[in-house]
Amino acid sequence: MKFDLKGRIDSINASEIEKEIFDSLPDDEQSPVVLNAENLEFISSAGLRVILHIKQTHPNLKIVGVNSDVYEILDMVGFTEIMTVEKAYRVVSIEGCEEIGRGANGTIYRIDSDNVVKVYNNADALADIQHEREVAKLALILGIPTALSYDVVKVGESYGSVFELLNARSFSKIIANEPEKIDWCVDEYVKMLKKIHSTVVPSGKLPDMKETAVTWAEFMKDYLPDEAGEKLCTLMNNIPHDDHMIHGDYHTKNLELTADEVLLIDMDTLAVGHPVFEFASIYNAFVGFSEYDHEIIKKFQGFDREKGIEFWNKSLSKYFGTNCKAKLKEVEDKARIVGYTRMIRRSIRRGGLETESGKAEIALWKDELLQLLEKTDSLVFNVNELEIEAVKENLSDVQDYVTGYLEQVNCPKKQIMQISVAVEEIFVNISSYAYAPEIGRVIVRIEISQQPLTVSITFIDHGVQYDPLKKADPDVTLSAENRDIGGLGIFMTKQIMDDISYEYVDGKNILTLKKDI
């Protein structure tokens, strides 16, 4: 039995409508009852009670063709959980609409100046849409600025998800059209990436990227020499579990600049895992995919390969707060191992081995992968470590690295400044004395523990053994004329930090500074 609900149902007409419906309800309480809400504009609590009464006598009740406003009311009062409520899908045409983004599962078009629609590749995408809405909601709650879909629509035979995105432009478009803004784009891109990676996701809320990546490695065993295949699986398995968020498809088409903020879109690949997985997909987007066919990136991102490489290098450098080539190469090589694994598998599954160009492309990636596997013992890099040449010229890089890191964990500005002083004193000391007259490297490691917030900074060098704690403190009561300027740096460090410890282990000076915030 089907009933049409029309216009408004409120206290004025509710009892009349209830009577009408109950008069014609079938006697069999188990027979299905459908309320067609296509023309229902508004329903008040009096109207909701009518629906509840029907549900009580005829539990097999379904409401169909519900518009978004009414759906919102039904959802708010919990009706969507106790009965079947089917939304009316608005029909949207994308003919002549600009494509503004593209991800693994769909393409995003602008339908008018305020709204965009993501059209899913999969024709039966309702579950995917539901998944993406849920993860986007989760991300938003966890503090990631993203656009939430407010409507599901039909686009031809496919489903689409509609988002409000006012005057937005993708970062790809900005880079392509205003190349002078690339550094600004890099800054914003990395800021967002760090925000994602510092977000802890409650257990079980998002898929674990490592589990997926291990299946890629297993797949690759059939296509690699035994030893290399084994090594790849071991490396992948040894990546530690990480409950921080990763986006999974973080390229510049998925970052949108609106009038007043930067928004992340295309959230369906959200997962948890070590940042190496993120950098693998970033490397692929900007460099890897176009290693064989250099034109491919232009089709996808709108800018050429050279720009893609520039963007990758700058982003990596910004993220790790260093221009230290060795450190960046370390990260890049590890990301490439994961990245090639993913691309080769993807290509093979899509029939890559059946075409000449596909075969050549796979061979190129495989060759790189095999070379990398030979020289790699771990896919893990530490975001909280900076390895850099101990020279005074690198002081500002070290300061930027430490300061940037502390800002991320919401360390107050004053304490950041103080820690900055201590870091300068120690770094300059190592630069001046540890390796003189040669040049050596130092690792700066930052560790944070929360509640109470404690910052620990460790300097590791393999220069001459030197314990700065043995240096006598200067007499700070002397007059200017009698003050000696030596020893002031380490003295200030001691004053600023709450604890300093030194050890010499395996030919390394290890100095750890701690401060309670």
Partner 1 sequence: MTINKNLNGSELTLGLEGRLDTTTAPELETVIQNELSDVKELVFDFKNLEYISSAGLRVLLSAQKIMNKNGNMKIINVNDMITEIFEVTGFIDILTVE
Q: What span, in angstroms and rounded, lies between the C-alpha atoms of 385 and 389?
A: 13
How do beta strands 33-43 and 61-66 pair?
Answer: parallel
- Element housing 170 (H / E): strand 169-170
Task: Please work out, in degrees rounded to the nearest 5, the angle formed at the alpha carbon of residue 155 by the alpha carbons of 135 and 148.
Answer: 25
Min CB(420)–partner 1 separation in Å: 7
Question: Can you spell out the DSSP letters for 373-400?
Answer: HHT-S-S---TTEEEEE--GGGHHHHHH
Q: What span, in angstroms and rounded, lies between the C-alpha atoms of 88 and 71?
A: 9
Residue closer to partner 1, measured from CB, 34 or 488: 488
| Token pair belonging to 475 | 């007499």
Residue 223, CA atoms < 13 Å, CB-side half-sphere: 25
Task: Please work out, in degrees rounded to the nearest 5, the angle formed at the alpha carbon of residue 454 by the alpha carbons of 448 and 455.
Answer: 55
Residue closer to partner 1, measured from CB, 151 or 425: 425
Min CB(428)–partner 1 separation in Å: 5
| Burial profile 142-151: b = 16 or more Cβ within 10 angstroms, e = fewer | eebebbebeb
Q: What span, in angstroms and rounded, lies between the C-alpha atoms of 383 and 397?
A: 15
Min CB(282)–partner 1 separation in Å: 32
How do beta strands 385-389 and 441-449 pair?
Answer: antiparallel
Residue closer to partner 1, measured from CB, 153 or 422: 422
3-state secondary structure 400-462: HHHHHHHHHCCCCHHHHHHHHHHHHHHHHHHHHHCCCCCCCEEEEEEEEECCCCEEEEEEEEC
Residue closer to partner 1, measured from CB, 367 or 473: 473
Min CB(313)–partner 1 separation in Å: 25
Min CB(489)–partner 1 separation in Å: 4
Residue closer to partner 1, measured from CB, 420 or 512: 420
Taking Cα atoms as reference points, which of 182, 170, 242, 179 lies closest to residue 207? Answer: 242
Min CB(445)–partner 1 separation in Å: 21
> Which stretches of the chain bind partner 1, using CB under 8 A?
392, 395-396, 399, 414, 417-418, 420-421, 424-425, 428, 476-481, 483, 485, 488-489, 491-492, 495-496
- Are 460 and 437 in contact by the 8 Å Cβ rule? The answer is no
Min CB(386)–partner 1 separation in Å: 17
Residue closer to partner 1, measured from CB, 12 or 417: 417
Q: What span, in angstroms and rounded, lies between the C-alpha atoms of 98 and 158?
A: 18
| Token pair belonging to 55 | 């549900």
Min CB(496)–partner 1 separation in Å: 7
Min CB(408)–partner 1 separation in Å: 19
Min CB(416)–partner 1 separation in Å: 9
At a CB cut-off of 8 Å and minimum separation 6, what does 401 contact? 320, 321, 322, 386, 444
Residue closer to partner 1, measured from CB, 127 or 480: 480
Residue closer to partner 1, measured from CB, 123 or 476: 476
| Token pair belonging to 307 | 């720009």
Residue closer to partner 1, measured from CB, 76 or 480: 480
Residue closer to partner 1, measured from CB, 325 or 483: 483
